[in-house]
Amino acid sequence: MATSEYEKKALGKETLAKYRELILLYDITEKLAASLDPQEVASLIIQEANKLINANKVSLMLINENTGLLEVIAGLGDEAKTKMSLKVGEGIAGYIALTGKAEIINNLSDDPRFLVGTRKVSSMMCAPLRIKDKTIGVINISSEEPANYTAEDLKLLSALTLQAAAAIENARLYDALKEAFLTAVSTLAETIEKRDTYTGGHTKRVMEYSLAIGKYFGLPDNEMERLKLAAVLHDVGKIGVRDDILLKNGKLDEEEYREMKRHTIYGEEVLKYIKYFKDIIPGVKSHHERYDGKGYPEGLSGTQIDIIARIIAVGDTFDAMTSDRPYRNALSKEVAYAEIKKCAGSQFDPEVVRAFLKAMALNN
């Protein structure tokens, strides 16, 4: 049977709309797959929803797992400023979170669930973000003018929320995994530290000092991540140093000192077999290098030394000076600040020392 001209046109239009929808969703999937930060994922979804559907206001709400409340975590228009939170079941968004079913409400003023407040809204679409059978949040799309949202709009929004829920869940899992990994790594570092002459907490403090310096130095987020891990693992190579040297109470002789210094190289040896640690090797291996080139193990100088290592060097030295050691008592913070300052340009990178002093002044 021949298809009529009218049917052909209608089919063409429908195919085109489907194709457009597919391209847009593919585009979103690609962008979402590249991001593992929940906040970034939420902002991206909001922007895309706004591109796809005619609206003045878009917001994404997630259920806070601790409080059980729905909270706005990203938004466009007035919604971005709202710090609104709702109980599940409360208002329209709360109702959608409860039922798990998307809805169009084209005449909001007649809807008894609508919480009027100060917001001027006429039409709204709301869809749940679902993972398996669980609702984790909702997306609200609304318009100040009557928008007459259609079933087609809702279908598009639902397709978007499917992607959004999966991306947010991924980002959350990645965060949890990173946290678990850092805990495992810290436990390892603390176990190694127990063999050392520090009275405890050295690894954690070096990490905290290093992160404070990194912040005032203006390191970008990805470098801060690298710094954190390298600071925790800076002395991991001590695992390879013999107990009689590592735990010796008195002064090390020349041979023993040479062996002790090798913990920097052992650090590289330990880490190089794990792909994930590749990026932090320079931070671990070079944390005893000196800015003037007189450090070890390679005698690197200036910017030849990875920035992460230049930062850890200051954090590590400061903590060593302000901790009790078997052969001397802790120095006061003031004496240690003066000592670090004196070594700017010789032992330490002067820019790093500047960031350190700024961080310490503001933290005390």
| Catalytic positions, written as ranges | 238
In the complex, the smallest distance separating the C-beta of residue 235 from Fe ion, rounded to whole angstroms, is 5
Retrieve residue 40's tokens. Answer: 């970034």
- C-alpha distance from residue 81 to each of 54, 57, 75, 77 (Å): 20, 11, 8, 8
Residues listed for the chain: 364
The distance between the two most distant Cα atoms of the chain, rounded to a whole number of Å, is 99
Residues 29-68 that bind Fe ion (CB under 5 A): none
Of 149 and 291, the one with the shorter C-beta distance to Fe ion is: 291
Q: Give the DSSP H or E segment for 63.
A: strand 57-63
Residue closer to Fe ion by CB (options 119, 262) is: 262
Cβ–Cβ < 8 Å for 213, 222: no
Q: Which helix (H) or strand (E) holds 128?
A: strand 123-131
Our CB check for Fe ion shows the closer of 275 and 328 to be 328
Q: Which residue is nearest to Fe ion (CB)?
A: 235
Which residue number, 235 or 306, has a Cβ lying nearer to Fe ion?
A: 235
CB of 352 to Fe ion, least distance (A): 17
To Fe ion, the closest distance from the beta carbon of 255 in angstroms equals 18
Question: Which tokens in the block code for residue 174?
Answer: 């990645």
In whole angstroms, the minimum distance from the beta carbon of 270 to Fe ion comes to: 13
Which amino acid is located at 59 in the chain? S
Output the smallest distance, CB 93 to Fe ion, in A: 53
352: tokens are 């790093």
Query: Which of 153, 235 has the CB closer to Fe ion?
Result: 235
Pick the closest to residue 278 from 226, 206, 239 (CA basis).
226
Q: How far is it, in rounded angstroms, from Cα 174 to Cα 151?
A: 35
Q: Which stretch binds Fe ion (CB under 5 A): 167-175, 186-194, 216-224, 231-239?
A: 231-239
Which residues, other chains included, contact 154 with Cβ-Cβ below 8 Å and sequence gap of 6+?
A: 102, 103, 104, 125, 127
Site string for Fe ion, 232-251 (x = CB under 5 A): ---x----------------
Using CB under 5 A, which of the segments 185-193, 227-235, 242-250, 336-344 binds Fe ion? 227-235
Determine if 349 is a binding residue for Fe ion (CB under 5 A). no
Interatomic CA distance for residues 165 and 129, integer angstroms: 5
- Count of residues engaged in binding Fe ion, rule: CB under 5 A: 1
Under rule CB under 5 A, residue 306 binds Fe ion: no
Residues that bind Fe ion (CB under 5 A): 235
